[in-house]
Amino acid sequence: MMTTNKHIAVLGAGAWGTALAVSMYQAGHQVTLIPRRQEHAEEINNVRENQRYLKGIRLEPSVNVSTDLSILKTAEILLWVVPAQHTREMAKTVLPYLPFDIPIVICSKGIDTHLEIIDENSLLTSVLAKTLPNPMAILSGPNFAIEVAQGLPAAATLAAFSRKLALDLAWTLRHPRFRIYASDDPIGVQIAGATKNVIAIACGIVLGKKIGNNANAALITRGLAEIRRLGMSLGGKIETFLGLAAVGDLTLTCSSQQSRNMALGMALGSGQKLEEILAGRNTVTEGVHTAEALHKFAISEEISMPICQAVYEILYKKRDVEDVINALLSRQSDWEEF
């Protein structure tokens, strides 16, 4: 097992990156939080708080905040909290600074949409591996940033292709208020973490349209079936889709307005336009990008994903929400299959 008291660099200072920096400090590690913009780092250092993305959470003086990437040369673990659509370019940026033996723990959720063909090579592990030869893992689970930063009890899955690496990292990063369970299924964990954001938009639309809790529960359950179908087609393991990374994360994201994706869906369901909703936000709603990626993914893998397809049509084809809902409800149902 890895020993404690590591130098952990957290790349990306959104709400989740900041919360992880706080949590790693609580675990007893030396922590460096690396925002992508210098002015953001200066703001955080001036007030010792990330007022843009995580108000009310104080950063202790010993938590270093800097945009100097040369700090990566002394880091022992890198937590990658860069939005999915910026991962490809950021990997090129850090390449000259990052020793090749440092484990990268990807804490972002999403699928890279830059390639014309969306397949397993669009998962963040594959995107990073094209540039960085480092050992890689995925951290994912049912976590709202503010609660993790406040030290409220939480749990997550840490998955790597190497069982030893997964166990070592899970042991090193966990603490009594942040339990981490090891997994050897990074494919399934990534698919679950990305797809649940699209299902959350669908659940938000249902609540925004005031269709009822029965419909919301049905969407969550059938959404899990879509996650499982896609994940297992790529080699994911069935137990992943019954655990924290799928059932846990899906339940949390689809049952609280704290979820950016669910809140966006509620706004759509209440009649707002997507452009208006996004214009009023300073955070990334990753489910919007993922809906487009899953549309292409489902085509390339020949997987039935009607809920994700419905969200795609609302977001990208500008179809009327009511029409899409009616079409979804009118689909022929046959044998129920998980």
What is the structure's pLDDT at 35? 98
E strands in 35-87: 64-65, 77-80
Q: What is the pTM of this model?
A: 0.95
Residue 334 has pLDDT above 70, yes or no: no
What is the structure's pLDDT at 303? 92
What is the structure's pLDDT at 155? 98
Residue 132 has pLDDT above 60, yes or no: yes
What is the structure's pLDDT at 328? 86
- Identify which has the larger pLDDT, 325 or 251: 251
What is the structure's pLDDT at 325? 87
Contact 90, 128 (CB under 8 A): no
* 131-159: average pLDDT: 97
Question: Rounded to whole angstroms, how far apart are CA atoms 200 and 263?
Answer: 9
Among the ranges given (80-94, 104-118, 128-142), the one the predictor scored with the smallest mean pLDDT: 104-118
What is the structure's pLDDT at 4? 67
Residue 336 has pLDDT above 90, yes or no: no
What are the tens digits of pLDDT across the range 226-244?
999 999 999 999 999 999 9
Q: Where in the chain is the domain with CATH 1.10.1040.10?
A: 188-329
* 121-131: average pLDDT: 96
What is the structure's pLDDT at 149? 98
Residue among 88, 72, 99 at smallest CA distance from 125: 88
Provide the token pair at 214.
């029965």
Contact 128, 106 (CB under 8 A): yes
What are the tens digits of pLDDT across the range 199-210?
999 999 999 999
Average pLDDT, the chain: 94
Class level of CATH domain 7-184: alpha beta
Among the ranges given (52-66, 112-126, 182-196, 308-322), the one the predictor scored with the smallest mean pLDDT: 112-126
Given 6, 196, 209, 296, the catalytic residue: 196
* 48-64: average pLDDT: 97
Provide the token pair at 338.
């998980």
* 156 DSSP β-pair partners: 180
What is the structure's pLDDT at 233? 93
* Residues 6+ positions from 264 with CB-CB distance below 8 Å: 201, 204, 274, 277, 285, 287, 288
- Does the domain at 188-329 match CATH 1.10.1040.10? Answer given as yes
- Catalytic status, residue 196: yes
Q: Where in the chain is the domain with CATH 3.40.50.720?
A: 7-184
The percent of residues above 70 in pLDDT, for the chain, comes to 97
What is the structure's pLDDT at 272? 93
Contact 85, 127 (CB under 8 A): no
DSSP-derived secondary structure for 282-323: SS--HHHHHHHHHHHHHHHHT---HHHHHHHHHHHS---HHH
| 116 pLDDT tier (thresholds 50, 70, 90) | confident
Residue 332 has pLDDT above 90, yes or no: no
Backbone angles phi, psi at 308, to 5 degrees: -65, -40
